[in-house]
Amino acid sequence: MKILLVEGITDVNLVRYIYSKMSDENSFDDFEPKGRTKPKIVTFENIKYREFRIINLNGQDKLKIALEDIIKPMERKITKIAILTDADKDFEASKQSVMKAIVESTIDSNKFSTFLTPNNSELGNLETLLLSSLDIDEILQLQCFQEYKKCLTNSIEEIEKRAIDKHEVEAYIKFSAKPRNRNQAQFSFIDSNGDTGLWDLSREEFSPIIKFVQSVFI
Its domain, for residue 182, covers 134-198
**Domain co-membership, 44 together with 11:** yes
**Domain co-membership, 108 together with 159:** no
Global pTM reads 0.94
**Domain co-membership, 56 together with 151:** no
**Domain co-membership, 101 together with 178:** no
Q: Where residue 38 falls among pLDDT bands split at 50, 70, 90?
A: low
Secondary structure string (H, E, C) spanning the chain: CEEEEECCHHHHHHHHHHHHHHCCCCCHHHEEEEEEEECCEEEEEECCCCCEEEEECCCHHHHHHHHHHHHHHHHHHCCEEEEEEECECCHHHHHHHHHHHHHHHCCCHHHEEEEEECCCCCCECHHHHHHHCCCHHHCHHHHHHHHHHHHHHHHCCCCCHHHHHHHHHHHHHHCCCCCCCCCCHHHCCEECCEECCCCCCCCHHHHHHHHHHHHHCC
**Domain co-membership, 4 together with 51:** yes
**Domain co-membership, 87 together with 143:** no
**Domain co-membership, 120 together with 157:** no
Mean pLDDT of 37-42: 78
Domain count, the chain: 2
List, for residues 82-139, the tens digit of each pLDDT value: 999 999 999 999 999 999 999 999 999 999 999 999 999 999 999 999 999 999 999 9
**Domain co-membership, 23 together with 67:** yes
**Domain co-membership, 74 together with 165:** no
**Domain co-membership, 35 together with 120:** yes
**Domain co-membership, 147 together with 208:** no
Give the CATH number for residue 14. Answer: 3.40.50
